[in-house]
């Protein structure tokens, strides 16, 4: 009898311990408002993860920026209130600077170049980030940022004469603008709409879908037809929390979220194309840079990237890989 009781006790403890290790609710913060396509896709992926893991793994999202900015989210992750978030590359640069390598100024010229490089570099960035304590569940395309302004900006001199916005805490932007001879005005994204309305700022860099979503196009009139930067969003969770899942459940989470981000890349690209047409229909005029300006901007941008590498703002290793892949592709064309 005593032997049976011992076996029953051991079995009970084993089940309890296993459930404690494998079951988890990953709490994730995001700036994306509830009801957006991004949130719908996240929730769809979370639903499948819950089903496939028989309820052992749940993803709970806190949308609309209710958990604060990137610094607040990281602090809440450290104390266990959150387990992850949707970040800009700058929001994860404090973990590993290599994550910023896709968003360098004037880096990509076409979406074909983006696809070629991301296929080869995304796995590198994910591996390095995981070694630093965060598991990247997906990198989503935001598309090319373009110059949106109150006046037509077709050369560097006209940009210098404008009141240019830089996102709060954007180290890359600060270095680039300094190299271009521009003194930007730093504001959080939440203040840009008011800044444009009041004339505090006159020029922003933004992708087409965000220009409409944030309603920034209503206080501007022109978009310069030059892709000046590539935007991505990153879903990352603390490795410590992720490792509490069983290996099989981790695989399910990676697989399902991978599918979500593949879908999002596709419809984000389609949405940006549609948004360009919508901007034209709503009165935005598209202007080209003057002859020779784009090459001028690229040269200064390359110099600023070298400065960022020397300052440790971006990764020499990963930027080197990106440049190598781009050169190989361009040489083949």
How would residue 152 be classed by pLDDT, with cut points 50, 70 and 90? very high
Q: Residue 170 has what pLDDT?
A: 87
- The length of the chain is 333
Answer whether residue 255 shows pLDDT above 70. Answer: yes
Q: Are 129 and 101 in contact (CB under 8 A)?
A: no
Query: Which of 89, 29, 156 has the alpha carbon at shortest distance from 315?
Result: 89
pLDDT over 70 at 21, yes or no: no
User: What would the mean pLDDT of 225-252 be, rounded to a whole number?
Assistant: 96
Give the C-alpha separation, 135 to 130, whole Å: 5
Is pLDDT of 130 > 50? yes
Identify the CATH class of 87-332. Answer: alpha beta
What is the per-residue pLDDT for 36? 82
With beta carbons less than 8 A apart as the criterion, state whether 249 and 21 touch: no
What was the pLDDT predicted at 13? 40
pLDDT of 70 over the 90 cut: no
The model's pLDDT over 222-238, given as tens digits with 9 standing for 90+, comes to 999 999 999 999 999 99
Mean pLDDT along residues 123-132: 96
pLDDT tens per residue, range 74-89: 999 999 999 999 999 9
Q: Is the pLDDT of residue 216 over 70?
A: yes
Q: Is the pTM of this model over 0.85?
A: yes
Label residue 6 by pLDDT band (50, 70, 90): very low
Domain range list for the chain: 87-332
C-alpha count within 13 angstroms, C-beta hemisphere, residue 221: 4
CB 270 within 8 A of CB 278: no
Give pLDDT, residue 11. 43
CA dist., res. 49 & res. 64, Å (int): 23
Q: What's the whole-number mean pLDDT along residues 120-126?
A: 97
The DSSP 8-state label assigned to residue 64 in this structure reads: T
Q: Cα angle at 190 between 171 and 285, to 5 degrees? A: 85
């Amino acid at each position: 009898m005593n032997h049976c009781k011992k076996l029953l006790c051991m079995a009970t403890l084993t089940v309890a311990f296993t459930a404690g290790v494998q079951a988890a609710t990953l709490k994730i913060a995001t700036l994306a408002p509830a009801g957006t396509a991004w949130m719908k896709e996240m929730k769809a992926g979370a639903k499948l993860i819950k089903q496939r893991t028989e309820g052992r793994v749940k993803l709970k999202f806190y949308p609309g920026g209710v958990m604060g900015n990137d610094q607040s989210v990281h602090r809440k992750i450290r104390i266990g209130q959150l387990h992850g978030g949707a970040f800009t590359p700058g929001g994860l640069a404090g973990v590993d600077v290599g994550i910023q390598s896709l968003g360098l100024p004037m880096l990509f010229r076409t979406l074909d170049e983006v696809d070629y490089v991301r296929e080869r570099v995304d796995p590198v960035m994910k591996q390095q980030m995981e070694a630093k304590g965060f598991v990247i569940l997906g990198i989503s395309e935001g598309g090319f940022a373009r110059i949106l302004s109150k006046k037509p900006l077709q050369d560097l001199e006209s940009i210098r004469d404008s009141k240019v916005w830089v996102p709060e805490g954007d180290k890359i932007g600060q270095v680039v603008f300094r190299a271009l001879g521009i003194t930007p005005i730093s504001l959080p994204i939440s203040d840009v709409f008011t800044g444009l309305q009041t004339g505090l700022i006159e020029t922003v860099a933004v992708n087409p879908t965000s220009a409409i979503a944030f309603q920034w196009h209503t206080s501007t009139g022109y978009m310069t037809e030059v892709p000046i930067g590539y935007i991505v969003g990153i879903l990352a969770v603390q490795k410590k929390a992720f490792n509490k899942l069983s290996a099989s459940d981790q695989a399910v989470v990676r697989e399902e979220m991978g599918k979500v981000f593949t879908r999002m890349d596709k419809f984000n690209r389609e949405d940006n194309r549609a948004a360009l047409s919508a901007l034209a229909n709503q009165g935005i005029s598209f202007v080209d840079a003057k002859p020779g300006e784009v090459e001028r901007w690229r040269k200064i941008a390359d110099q600023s990237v070298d400065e960022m590498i020397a300052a440790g703002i971006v990764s020499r290793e990963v930027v080197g890989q990106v440049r190598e892949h781009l050169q190989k592709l361009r040489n083949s064309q």
